[in-house]
Structure 1
Amino acid sequence: MWFAGSLLDLYRVMGESRYLESANDIIESTLREFRWAENGLFFDSIAEEDLGFLSEKIWKIDDNSRLSRILINLSLITGEEDYLNEAEELLKRMSAEYEQYGIFSAPLGSAIDKYLRLVHIVIFGEKEEFERISQDALGVFEPNKTLEIIDTSLNPTRITDLGLSDKSGVYACRRGSCTILKENKIKEDLAEFLK
């Protein structure tokens, strides 16, 4: 699952669909193979053989929180509502258990914050343009954003999928409300939009 998150990060920066497809495959396998039927959470192994203490199925709040964040990212990037619904259910299940973890439940809080905000920012343009635009867009503090950087000359399909026709800019969404920011007020306009 951690590897799936890394592949998703690679896709968000490189824009190569093979990384997204591989991350998607790993997550689909995780959802199928690692779900604990008793409580719906995800455990750390599928070992059936007798490995002593290692054969016990253990769910970890950190790993399950990370999985929910990856599911949210996948939902925002692919538009698949099923991933968002899965993340929501996972967060609900963990929230019934979090008190016993004290400060170690902080990753759950971060995942819940990401779910409540659902901020998706796409910086797009040709190389020279998005380097300039990136400075402005990344200057806005939003720690739980899902960020994509798209070179339009390398990934025109993703631009078409998002319905963008402009040559460059910042496409920002928050809880389903979206806008396109361009020109020289990107930083100020993005900060205002994310309030």
Structure 2
Amino acid sequence: TQIDRSLNRQYGGWGRNGIGGEQSGSRLRHLYLRAHLYNDAELHDLALKGSAGFLNSIDPVWGGSYIASFPEGAEVPERFAALGAIPEKRILVQSNAITAFAIGYQHTGDEKYLAGIREIDRFLKNWMMADDGTFYTNQKSEPSRLPRGMSTYEYWALQSDRERRKYGTPPVDHAVYTDRNGEVISAYVLAYETTGNEDYLETATRAATTILDQRTRDAGWVVQATANDEVDSDARMRPLVTEEKPFLSAQAWFGSALLALYRATGDEHWLEAADRIGKATLNLLQDEKAGGFFATVPDATAAIIAPRKPLESNGTAASFYYDLWIYTKDDTYKSVSENAIRAVADPAIIRREGKITGEFAMALEKVTTAYVEFSIVGDTSHPNASALFEAGRDVFEPRKLLHYEAPGRYPDRGIPSMYICNPDMCSVPIENPADVKKQAAAFHGPAATL
């Protein structure tokens, strides 16, 4: 209800006058999920408006999505009139835009969404990618040589690379945050699943591999930020914090990205890495008495001031642990998601967070409507196994957990077969990849048994 109250039904998204790129990420995914679960045409149309709204936010010169834009017919504040947008380009907005376009294309097949993905990818590769394949945090709005009398909005309204470069280029904040990279990785994985473009998967894989190699600590968790030469040269309002301790947002988002890679590839390497992060986070950040997760490791002040349990990070963690439990069948994780939700589901906390409740809403919807598991059993080197996996990847199901599974729960029937299950029921064994989408349709709504 709180999310719906702030939904802009005229233009889509959650901005007052148009699309707010930071606001319309998890909430848009939640809107698509609800439309899917309840077969709600009105919610579906509103979600598509949100996806289409991101197209208006694209910079036609350098690509990438502005932080917010004003659609035709919207009331535009005078200072934004020259551009019709707010020009800062934050990394979160780019991952939200890729996700919006990928889901929009899955639902419509409209080529404009593929073009949108390419435009975000162009900006990220040209401006925001570090040499090791990870991503910087944002490009600021004001160029280095902006002349007196020209506003930043007039600068961004210039229609060519050459015109803009006369006045310099806006600086990039070269900090590389693990949680934000987790969001970008997940978005690129979804773009790969939607388009089949291997370059998007390679981009996600490279960033994830770098973070695993460079930021994993002996206890299994990943550090949120590390120093680099570029960020040392940035003009920053405050220095980059590179504390050697685990932060919940980094573990939850990067763990979720690893599970996205597992869903897209079936490669056990990603599941094993996610499992290590899952166990480390339980050991270090879980409140064993009351449930839920602290933002970071409690320190000496915890005896005086209760450590914070952030709503959205606990929502992301709840989704991560729910999926991890279903994939691993490790009952260590069985009640973690529900406990995390209960720990922060205080009406006063939710009201206080206002619009910043999308991840929590996604977790609540996922846990209360249940998973849809696509398991492929049999010889993974057999052509039918990969064909079934590809067919499962093509199905739009926001709760989908796709993987290969060793015989045990399901028999090896001699030819690789897929089983689609939720807590209520399972499909018949599926041998023909052409039958996957039809069988998956039976699992469209919420499960009745939880």
TM-score by length of 1: 0.75
The residue that corresponds to 2:423 in the other structure is 175
The residue that corresponds to 1:113 in the other structure is 365
Q: Any conservation in 1 of the 2:291–2:336 contact (CA below 8 Å)?
A: no
Moved over 6 A (4+): none
Specify whether residues 160 and 123 from structure 1 end up closer, same or farther in structure 2 by C-alpha distance, changes over 3 A only: closer
- Could you tell me which of 87, 102, 124 is aligned with 2:354? 102
| In 2, Cα distance between equivalents of 1:138 and 1:6 | 16
Where structure 1 has 5 or more consecutive residues not aligned to the other structure, the ranges are 51-55, 151-157
Where structure 2 has 5 or more consecutive residues not aligned to the other structure, the ranges are 1-250, 446-450
Q: Any conservation in 2 of the 1:114–1:145 contact (CA below 8 Å)?
A: no
The correspondence of residues 12-51 of structure 1 with structure 2, limited to 5 A, is 12-36=263-287, 39-46=290-297, 48=299
How far did residue 26 of structure 1 move?
Answer: 1.8
| 1:100-133 superposed Cα distances (whole Å, 9 cap, x missing partner) | 2222111111111211222212245546324433
| In 1, Cα distance between equivalents of 2:388 and 2:272 | 28
* Paired AA for residue 118 in structure 1: Y
Q: CA RMSD in A?
A: 3.0
The correspondence of residues 69-88 of structure 1 with structure 2, limited to 5 A, is 69-88=319-338
| In 2, Cα distance between equivalents of 1:29 and 1:81 | 16
Q: Any conservation in 2 of the 1:123–1:169 contact (CA below 8 Å)?
A: yes
SS at match of 2:357: helix
* Paired AA for residue 98 in structure 1: I
- Specify which structure has the bigger relative contact order, considering alpha-carbon pairs within 8 angstroms and separated by 6 or more residues: 1
Q: Any conservation in 2 of the 1:140–1:191 contact (CA below 8 Å)?
A: no
SS at match of 2:309: coil
SS at match of 1:122: strand
Number of aligned residue pairs: 183
Farther off after superposition, 129-138 or 89-98: 129-138
Specify whether residues 100 and 27 from structure 1 end up closer, same or farther in structure 2 by C-alpha distance, changes over 3 A only: same
| In 2, Cα distance between equivalents of 1:164 and 1:107 | 37
How far did residue 89 of structure 1 move?
Answer: 1.3
SS at match of 1:160: coil
The correspondence of residues 97-176 of structure 1 with structure 2, limited to 5 A, is 97-116=349-368, 117-123=370-376, 125-126=380-381, 128-148=383-403, 150=404, 158-166=405-413, 167-175=415-423
Specify whether residues 11 and 135 from structure 1 end up closer, same or farther in structure 2 by C-alpha distance, changes over 3 A only: closer
Q: Any conservation in 1 of the 2:309–2:344 contact (CA below 8 Å)?
A: no
Query: Which structure shows the higher helix fraction?
Result: 1
* Paired AA for residue 406 in structure 2: I
| In 2, Cα distance between equivalents of 1:138 and 1:58 | 38
How far did residue 165 of structure 1 move?
Answer: 1.0
TM-score by length of 2: 0.36
